[in-house]
Chain A
Amino acid sequence: MIPPAFEYARPETVEEAVRLLAEAGDEAKVLAGGQSLLPLLRLRLAFPELVVDVGRIPGLRGVREDGDTLVIGALTTHHEVIRDPLVRRHAGLLAAATATVADPAVRHRGTLGGSLAHADPAGDLPAVVLALDGELVAAGPEGRRTVPAREFFVDYLQSALSPDELLIEIRVPKADGWGFHYEKFHRVAQSWAIVGVAALVRREDGRIAEARVGLTNMGATPLRASAAETALAGADGPDPVRRAASGAAEGTRPGQDASASPEYRAHLARVLTERAVLTAAGMG
């Protein structure tokens, strides 16, 4: 199908992009890699008056270190994230989960910042950045502000970004020494996760000292399985992990669609949390 007509601008700086967004009120959409926006436009689910193509703004692409933090430019593509040596060394969960996103052609174009700003709870990367305790840096007319991932995902397809703000970088604490695994349950290769679980585990003396569990598609936003995380502390083998994982769906409100009922999603969250944590802990 043919997208609806829109005006197009290709700013060359963050400041110019923010000015264009501010002038357009809430009638503009940001275009980065376009792998979420273009399907929406083609299916006529979005009708922006202005599309602001930020894809060529220099300085928003690539990964660097800032002390104990990894700083990932919002325009870094999935393809680049998967192969980046810093991401692989310090945030292996992100590289592993990104490798499950869509397919190679989509990963060449799609960006980390774009998939987070899109805030789809069925997307893989929001739950991953949530589990990593990441922070998102936005540029707006008043300057820059940093939003913790826990506050960034507000509702279905809705982030904490205001219409005149642009996501410019993602900051992730280095997770050196943490085991990790992303367990994704989907019907066919390139479909969305029915449920996904992102697990990070730190072990001490053969026990789980600390665990973080992010849930994909278990509500209107990505969620942390807080009850399971608490219960996982001290787990020293498969049985305690299974008992702890039985609380993975507590506090979630999974939806109903053609793929799954809320009850089935809750079941998946428990089973996938067990699998993801066991694998992350090397106990699987």
Chain B
Amino acid sequence: MTHITVNVDGTTYEDDVEPRLLLAHYLRDRLGLTGTPIGCDTSNCGACTVELDGASAKSCSVLAVQADGCAVTTVQGLARNGELTALQRAFHEQHGLQCGYCTPGMIMAARDLLRENPHPTSDEVRHALEGNLCRCTGYQNIVRAVLAASGQQDGSGPADRTRDASGQQVTEEVTA
């Protein structure tokens, strides 16, 4: 067993863990923070994405012992006193989910994007979410939600600028 100290969503935990314990399992099974789901065994789906010291990471691909001394933020640490963040609200308002399984990872990955690039194009949103799979929505409303959270449009706002495969600027009408 290895002793670790981890701050998760503002609370500091001390635990003795097996070195092989994945951070995703630590969060879910030890701390009961089941808001972070596990969707695959291959690092592909991104459902388990959290922030580790401020940068997105797939918690199925991090050992709990690697998080020793670090700060972890899960989707459960975003809302303050029951008040959703703008990004969470946008997923709700733009209907950026159907079954919801991918949503925590989508939100954590989108936070990462908006921190670096507060006004992304729809193409940049798609690239930023390339490590997160959704099997319900076809991604359209997820991209809309991220754009809405960036304040660029509310789903019925100005047309979205994007680029097609040849790099030409094209205009895509976005309607709610």
Contact = CB atoms under 8 A, between A and B. Distances in A.
B55 A108 contact: yes
Contacts of A196: none
B20 A5 contact: yes
Contacts of B130: 103-104, 189-190
A104 B43 CA distance: 12
B2 A109 contact: no
Contacts of B20: 2-6, 41
Contacts of B109: 104-105
Interface stretch (A32-40, A177-185, A236-244, A260-268): A32-40
Interface in B46-101: 46, 49, 52, 55-58, 60-63, 65-66
A1 B42 CA distance: 9
B55 A2 contact: no
B2 A8 contact: yes
A39 B130 CA distance: 18
A65 B131 CA distance: 33
A283 interface: no
A147 interface: no
B169 to A, nearest CB: 19
Nearest to A188: B130
Nearest to B50: A105
A134 B142 CA distance: 41
A56 to B, nearest CB: 9
B42 A102 contact: no
Contact of B41 (A1, A8, A10, A34): A1
B144 interface: no
Nearest to A103: B131
Interface string A42-65: 110000000101010000000000
A5 B2 CA distance: 13
B61 to A, nearest CB: 5
Contacts of B113: 104
A20 to B, nearest CB: 14
A190 B61 CA distance: 15
Of A7, A104, A105, the most chain B CB neighbours within 10 A belong to A105
Given A8-B19, A103-B46, A189-B130, A39 B61 contact: yes
Interface in A185-242: 189-190
Interface in B4-21: 18-20
Contact of A106 (B58, B63, B66): B58
B137 interface: no
A10 B62 CA distance: 15
Interface of B: 2, 18-20, 22, 25, 41-44, 46, 49, 52, 55-58, 60-63, 65-66, 109, 112-113, 127-128, 130-132
Q: Which 8 residue pairs across A and B have the least CB separation, nearest first?
A: A103-B131, A8-B19, A189-B130, A108-B55, A105-B56, A3-B20, A38-B61, A103-B130
Given A34-B62, A104-B131, 9 more contacts: A8-B2, A35-B61, A38-B22, A38-B61, A39-B61, A53-B63, A103-B131, A106-B43, A190-B130
